[in-house]
C-alpha cells in the first residue's frame, strides 16, 4: 500500500497540485516511510498568506472577543476528542515514548488554547488620567489590536506542544496564522487543520505550509510582504537568517533559539534529588529539548559519588518501541541527526574524554535497526575548550566536570555563547538566590527542572534568543498596544 500524503492546509481545506514536489517523512523508530509530504511552492505560500489576510479583514476580524475565545475552547475540545489520532501522529513523527507524548505533548497542546483564551479575556486595559494646563484634564487608555498575519515556524522536538504554544496566543489576540512545521514532523500541524475546520474556525484563520528553509517554504514565508510578525523556535543559525528576513518591512520577531545549558550541583544538595533531576534534564526526549542539560558542574567533595550514581541511574533508562511497556527513552529524530550526534561522540573520544557510560548505538533488534537510536552517554575529563563543551549537540549526552568554589561554578556556567536555562542544586537558600541571579540565562531552576507555570516568561539570553513567550508576555508580542488620548 502506498504511503499516505500530507497536504498543505490553506483557506480552510487541504490543497494539492499535480506539480507538487514530494518529500519523505520517515519514522525515526524504524526508518519506514510515514507519509509523503507535499512541499509548498512560493505560489502556495502566497495563497496561504493571502487567505490569512482575507480572514483577518473578514469573518475572523468581525468576531467578538467572546466568540473568538469560544472557538478556541471548541478547538481544545476537538483535540481531546481526537486525542488518539494526535498521539499516533506525534509518535510516528518523533518516536517519543507513548508515556511522554500521552502525558505531556497532546494534553498541553489542547490546554494552550484554553489557557490563552482565558488569559486574553481576563487581561485588562490600562487607564491613565492626565492633568492639562487648562485644568480640564484628559484620559488615556490602551487598546489591544492584533498584529495581523503571523508566521509560526516550529521545531521537530516538541512539534505539537510548541506549535500550539504559538498558534493559541496568536489566535486569542485576533491574529491569523500561517504555520510551517518542521519538515521532520508535519503530521500534527496538518491534523490540527481538520480540528480547526470542524470547530467552525473561519477559513484562512489557520493555514499550514510544509517544506524546508532556504529556497523553500520557510524562506518564502518569512520574506512575504503581507506577513506582519514572525515567531520561531529552533536552531540559532536559522534564527539569524529569519531575523535578517524580518528586518525587511520591520516585522516583529520572537525567537527562542539554541542552548548549552549548565547544571550546578553543590555539595550541600539533596543528592538523590540532584541525580534523579539530572537524569531527567539530560535525557528527557532523548536529550532533544532546548532546556536539556549538556554541561554538569559538580562540587569536588561529591564529584565521584555523583558520577557513579548518575551512571547507575542512566543505565536504568529503557530504550525500545515507544508503545512497549516500560520504555522511557526514544530515538533521535532522524538518521541525519544521529550522524551529527555521533560525530560529537567521536570528538569527545578524540579530545580525551572518559566515557562513563554509553557512547555508541544500542542493539535493539532487527525490527528497530533502521531507526535513529543512540545510547545515553556521560563523559568526564574534557577541557572546557572542547567542541563538545562549547557547541549544542541536542542529543542524550552530558559532560560532568568538578569545581571548587561558588565563583568558579558561576564562571563556568556563564562561559558560553548561549543563555537559555540553568539548574542549581543546593539546600542553601541564600546560595540558591545568589547563584540563580548571577547566571546569564532566561530561566533558572533551583532543585527542579522544567517545572513550568505557563504565566511566566520563557526565553533566552545571548544567542539563545530574543523576546519572551508565556502568559502576558505572549499577549504583548501578538498584540499592538494602542494608546487613545481624549481631552476632556
Going residue by residue through the chain, which has 488 residues, state the pLDDT in tens, using 9 for 90 and above: 667 899 999 999 999 988 889 999 999 999 999 999 999 999 999 999 999 999 999 999 999 999 999 999 999 999 999 999 999 999 999 999 999 999 999 999 999 999 999 999 999 999 999 999 999 999 999 999 999 999 999 999 999 999 999 999 999 999 999 999 999 999 999 999 999 999 999 999 999 999 999 999 999 999 999 999 999 999 999 999 999 999 999 999 999 999 999 999 999 999 999 999 999 999 999 999 999 999 999 999 999 999 999 999 999 999 999 999 999 999 999 999 999 999 999 999 999 999 999 999 999 999 999 999 999 999 999 999 999 999 999 999 999 999 999 999 999 999 999 999 999 999 999 999 999 999 999 999 999 999 999 999 999 999 999 999 999 999 999 999 999 999 99
C-alpha cell at 151: 508566521
**CATH code of the domain occupying 4-257+464-487:** 3.40.605.10
What distances in angstroms separate CA 422 from CA 161, 291, 292, 350, one per listed residue?
Answer: 22, 8, 9, 28
Give the Cα separation of 398 and 423 in Å (integer). 14
List the catalytic residue out of 184, 256, 294, 299: 256
Helix (H) or strand (E) holding 115: helix 106-122
Look up 90 and say whether it is catalytic.
Answer: no
- What is the C-alpha to C-alpha distance for residues 414 and 392, in angstroms, rounded to an integer? 15
Strands (E), 309-369: 354-357
Q: Any catalytic annotation for residue 290?
A: yes
Q: How far apart are CA 141 and CA 224, in angstroms?
A: 33
Q: Where are the domains of the chain?
A: 4-257+464-487, 261-454
C-alpha cell at 336: 541525519
Of the candidate CATH numbers 3.90.1150.10, 3.30.70.520, 3.40.309.10, 3.40.50.970, the domain formed by 261-454 belongs to 3.40.309.10
Which position among 290, 292, 397, 398 bears the catalytic label? 290
pTM (2 d.p.): 0.96
Amino acid at each position: 500500500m502506498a504511503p499516505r500524503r500530507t497536504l498543505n492546509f490553506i483557506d480552510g481545506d487541504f490543497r494539492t497540485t499535480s506539480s507538487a514536489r514530494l518529500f519523505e517523512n520517515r519514522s525515526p523508530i524504524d526508518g519506514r516511510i510515514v507519509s509523503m509530504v507535499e512541499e509548498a511552492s512560493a505560489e502556495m505560500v502566497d495563497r496561504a498568506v493571502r487567505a490569512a489576510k482575507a480572514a483577518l479583514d473578514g469573518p475572523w476580524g468581525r468576531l467578538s472577543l467572546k466568540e473568538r475565545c469560544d472557538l478556541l475552547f471548541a478547538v481544545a475540545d476537538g483535540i481531546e476528542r481526537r486525542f488518539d489520532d494526535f498521539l499516533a501522529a506525534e509518535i510516528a513523527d518523533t518516536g517519543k515514548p507513548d508515556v511522554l507524548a500521552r502525558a505531556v505533548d497532546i494534553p498541553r497542546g489542547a490546554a494552550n488554547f484554553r489557557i490563552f483564551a482565558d488569559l486574553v479575556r481576563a487581561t485588562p486595559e490600562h487607564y491613565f488620567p492626565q492633568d492639562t494646563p487648562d485644568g480640564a484634564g484628559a484620559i488615556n487608555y490602551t487598546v489591544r489590536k492584533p498584529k495581523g498575519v503571523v508566521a509560526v515556524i516550529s521545531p521537530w522536538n516538541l512539534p505539537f506542544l510548541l506549535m500550539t504554544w504559538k498558534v493559541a496566543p496568536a489566535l486569542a489576540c485576533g491574529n491569523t496564522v500561517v504555520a510551517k512545521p518542521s519538515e521532520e514532523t508535519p503530521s500534527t500541524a496538518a491534523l490540527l487543520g481538520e480540528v480547526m475546520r470542524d470547530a467552525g474556525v473561519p477559513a484562512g484563520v489557520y493555514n499550514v505550509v510544509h517544506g524546508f528553509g532556504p529556497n523553500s517554504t520557510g524562506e518564502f514565508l518569512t520574506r512575504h510582504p503581507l506577513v506582519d510578525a514572525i515567531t520561531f523556535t529552533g536552531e540559532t543559525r536559522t534564527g539569524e537568517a529569519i531575523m535578517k528576513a524580518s528586518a525587511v518591512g520591520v516585522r516583529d520577531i520572537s525567537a527562542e533559539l539554541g542552548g548549552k545549558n549548565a547544571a550546578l550541583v553543590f555539595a550541600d544538595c539533596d543528592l538523590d534529588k540532584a541525580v534523579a533531576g539530572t537524569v531527567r534534564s539530560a535525557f528527557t526526549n532523548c536529550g532533544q529539548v532546548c532546556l536539556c542539560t549538556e554541561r554538569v558542574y559538580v562540587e569536588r567533595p561529591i564529584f565521584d559519588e555523583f558520577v557513579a550514581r548518575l551512571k547507575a541511574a542512566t543505565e536504568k533508562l529503557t530504550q525500545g518501541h515507544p508503545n512497549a511497556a516500560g520504555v522511557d527513552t526514544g530515538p533521535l529524530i532522524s538518521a541525519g541527526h544521529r550522524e551529527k550526534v555521533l560525530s560529537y561522540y567521536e570528538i569527545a573520544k578524540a579530545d580525551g574524554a572518559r566515557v562513563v557510560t554509553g557512547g555508541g548505538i544500542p542493539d535493539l533488534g532487527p525490527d528497530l535497526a533502521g531507526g535513529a537510536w543512540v545510547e545515553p552517554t556521560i563523559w568526564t575529563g574534557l577541557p572546557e575548550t572542547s567542541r563538545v563543551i562549547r557547541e549544542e549537540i541536542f542529543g542524550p549526552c552530558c559532560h560532568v566536570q568538578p569545581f571548587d568554589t561558588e565563583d568558579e561554578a558561576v564562571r563556568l556556567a556563564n562561559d558560553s555563547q548561549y543563555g537559555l536555562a540553568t539548574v542549581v542544586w543546593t539546600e542553601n537558600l541564600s546560595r540558591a538566590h545568589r547563584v540563580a541571579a548571577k547566571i546569564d540565562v532566561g530561566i533558572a531552576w533551583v532543585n527542579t527542572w522544567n517545572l513550568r507555570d505557563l504565566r511566566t516568561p520563557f526565553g533566552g539570553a545571548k544567542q539563545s534568543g530574543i523576546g519572551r513567550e508565556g502568559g502576558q508576555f505572549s499577549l504583548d508580542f501578538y498584540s499592538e498596544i494602542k494608546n487613545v488620548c481624549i481631552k476632556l
